[in-house]
Amino acid sequence: MSQGKREPVEEFEEVREYHSRSSGIFFEFDCCLHRENSAYQKIEVINNSHFGHILFLDGLVQTTEKDEFFYHEMLTHPALITHPDPQKVLVIGGGDGGVLKEVLRYPIEKAQLVEIDPQVIEVSMKYFPWLKSCTKDRRVQIVNADGKIFLQNSDQTFDVILVDSSEPVGPSVSLHEETFYQALKARLAAHGVACLQLGSPFYHLEAIIKTNAVLNGLFKIARLYTAPVPTYPGGLWCYSFLSDKLNPLAIKRNPPVGLKYFSQDIHKAAFALPNFLKEKLG
């Protein structure tokens, strides 16, 4: 999810991801568990003594065993506790299965995961055990396709759509375009909710402002919210809650038991934006 570049794993005993020209994050690793170039991107998994297994796509941290719950819970549960009766859920991206894992905590009818790169799913099945258990759930359907093309060609509607995209480079570029957001809205049920990630308010502020303006033009309700993610740039991440009908603070149900971060109180607090972000948004 983060952005930057780093020295290749095979030459160093640490991985560096730069968030600016002079700063970033590093991970020492015991071993490189997997490395390949798929048809779409470079996929790597390393093992770090603190964070456990870490997935990189094109050198950028996607998820870690240690802190995945921050991001996956905050992308998923705001929509699912706000919708009165979510039955059909679409996850775009998210080939590591973290969002799908959270979706399946609810008594939904169907969850579709649309991931462009089948190799991300295959690798994650091996190194992130939650995905393997998800694929055994009869409610799950996995589709290997570009998320934008899938939406444009689909005649289905969804109660909840969750966009777990990586940075707007490589195969994720199309998931950050206005035409993608238009296609998303067309496939969202009348009382539907969509949530998506927007990046770091510290490093990606101008892009967040531009995207937020586009989303406000498409949806009657487009509300930013934030939450921490320790291994993402700046440690604080922005998300957007999108709907034409549902107020994000009108909670319809308690979240599932067993969550590590998310709660009703966290949900409410997440929509209280820091002053610097509110000022930039106008």
List active site positions.
164
One-letter amino acid for residue 166 of the chain: S
